[in-house]
Structure 1
């Protein structure tokens, strides 16, 4: 069982947020966790954190889960990804996503126009930039030309690209043009019957390797599961109104997104996490944003380290 965690893991920071997050990466590595993914919020920058963590904690793998492609241009994102890859000595992985119409248009003031076409064009250009360092592309939603020279960083290889794809068209585009997907709130039933076969078929048809499925799962070891469940239902209610999330919840017969929060003692949490890998997830990213106490987080990380060691 390949396990990682997502940071930030909560909002209880009292000092320098970046310093505290790097300290948490060191704590996670000491617990036996090998991969840390950084969420892109509107306070801290995920790409910068991944680069810093890769430098500060030898051996740790870092990633973003996920960076919205609106309104970032792929030339800019490729330069950031290559920088993070060099900083982490080749241990960086780029997770990106479309986000949602409401968030993109209200936050950035740009149109969420033809998102699947934009995703396909974006992944096409980004792939050229990461593999070759150059682009000369004129599409329907995107233009990219490296007129000032190649996007190359000495010491940087090609990072894997994963997409937070949920809808069928996004999953097909991801299977054809990227290395895998980062589904969130996709229950084991939805993974086994929908996500894994859809992206797998697209990858096979495109002659690509079997895609990674890095399933993001909210989970917490706790002695008070009822209180955590109430908070999870409140926090995740936002996703229930986003069509792609509503669809993947409905495919598993899940009404409330918060009900997918994996909670309980160590044995209960471990058993529930195994259901995701049995459903076809190639790896898990455990998320705890806004949930639990520091001690509950540490108990969860110790469990994840033990499960990682047992499966290695």
Structure 2
């Protein structure tokens, strides 16, 4: 069994305030981590602040916070706050996010993503260590945290392709990825190396109804894989030809047609589905392939209620 087993919070369809009972029970179920995200729902930090109090033994982190949508100083402030709330248990996950989130939704130019992540990582290392930082590339002049955390948090990078994976290996404490199959983990490890921590959010649909799972999965895949950063990721992983009909239909405005041409094999590769026992076995395939920390993202179905899914997918369940 993997030493780590994470859960994505907040869970879809569950109000944030109703997560207390779920989070309080995670450690007893064998979960070690709780990881948030930031797209168009809750922000990444507020759920972790609550979880720091509800789950005092859990490791916590955002997977991920975009480096564009907060100024570097504010990002350091929020990271320092979480590091104080959960000393020794907070890991800061940062990344580029996507042009959709950064540019279309926030009106911020999505330029030079590799450089922006690299420079922000270096800034955060210094700021969270209590140094006074001036960084011309980021436009920062003489920033210092009022109180640096007693223990600077590890920083992990969202990394989908070789350049960012190598940056994570050289300068960060690990890498975060998602939307991959177990055999893809070996490709990612080939660039990251064997030593750094590798985390991945796994979309898990615990249902025996394969057609239901695939229908949900097709919507999710179309929403993600038509975004340029994910399209490039899967071209690198070797799915370019399999996903080309979907991308062509999507670009032509044929949303229904795009869903219909996504092969079952691609859905089964990227969405963990089946009985809870089958899902747990599939998650362990990722670990056997080199994933350090699986982060379960429960995909709602007509079957298990969210709290029941958390229990059924827990490592302690079998």
Asked if the contact 2:39–2:101 (Cα under 8 Å) also holds between the matched residues in 1, the reply is: no
Give the drift of 1:43: 3.5
Which residues of structure 1 form unaligned runs of 5+?
202-209
Q: For 2:84 and 2:90, how far apart are their aligned partners in 1?
A: 8
Q: For 2:104 and 2:215, how far apart are their aligned partners in 1?
A: 28
Asked if the contact 2:37–2:65 (Cα under 8 Å) also holds between the matched residues in 1, the reply is: yes
Q: Does 1:169 align with 2:163?
A: yes
TM alignment of 1:1-312, pairs within 5 A: 1=2, 2-11=4-13, 13=14, 17-139=15-137, 142-147=138-143, 149-153=144-148, 156-193=150-187, 195-200=188-193, 210-250=195-235, 251-253=237-239, 255=243, 256=262, 258-259=267-268, 260-291=270-301, 293-295=303-305, 298-306=308-316
Once the two structures are superposed, residues 125-182 of structure 1 have per-residue CA deviations (whole angstroms, 9 ceiling, x without a partner) of 111112234312212xx122344x435245x411111111102222222222211111
Q: For 1:212 and 1:64, how far apart are their aligned partners in 2?
A: 15
Q: For 2:129 and 2:208, how far apart are their aligned partners in 1?
A: 48
Which residues of structure 2 form unaligned runs of 5+?
244-261
Q: For 2:312, what is the secondary structure of its paired residue?
A: helix
Give the drift of 1:296: 6.2
Relative to the length of structure 2, the TM-score reads 0.83
Asked if the contact 1:64–1:95 (Cα under 8 Å) also holds between the matched residues in 2, the reply is: yes
Give the drift of 1:77: 1.0
Aligned residues: 291
Name whichever of 248-257 and 88-97 sits farther off.
Answer: 248-257
Asked if the contact 2:205–2:299 (Cα under 8 Å) also holds between the matched residues in 1, the reply is: no
Once the two structures are superposed, residues 77-118 of structure 1 have per-residue CA deviations (whole angstroms, 9 ceiling, x without a partner) of 111111111112321111122111232111111111111111
Q: For 1:292 and 1:215, how far apart are their aligned partners in 2?
A: 25
* CA RMSD between the two structures: 2.3
Asked if the contact 1:220–1:292 (Cα under 8 Å) also holds between the matched residues in 2, the reply is: no
Q: For 2:217 and 2:100, how far apart are their aligned partners in 1?
A: 22
Q: For 1:21, what is the secondary structure of its paired residue?
A: helix
Relative to the length of structure 1, the TM-score reads 0.84
Asked if the contact 1:82–1:130 (Cα under 8 Å) also holds between the matched residues in 2, the reply is: yes
Asked if the contact 1:9–1:291 (Cα under 8 Å) also holds between the matched residues in 2, the reply is: no
Once the two structures are superposed, residues 43-65 of structure 1 have per-residue CA deviations (whole angstroms, 9 ceiling, x without a partner) of 42221221221122221221111
Q: For 2:11 and 2:302, how far apart are their aligned partners in 1?
A: 9
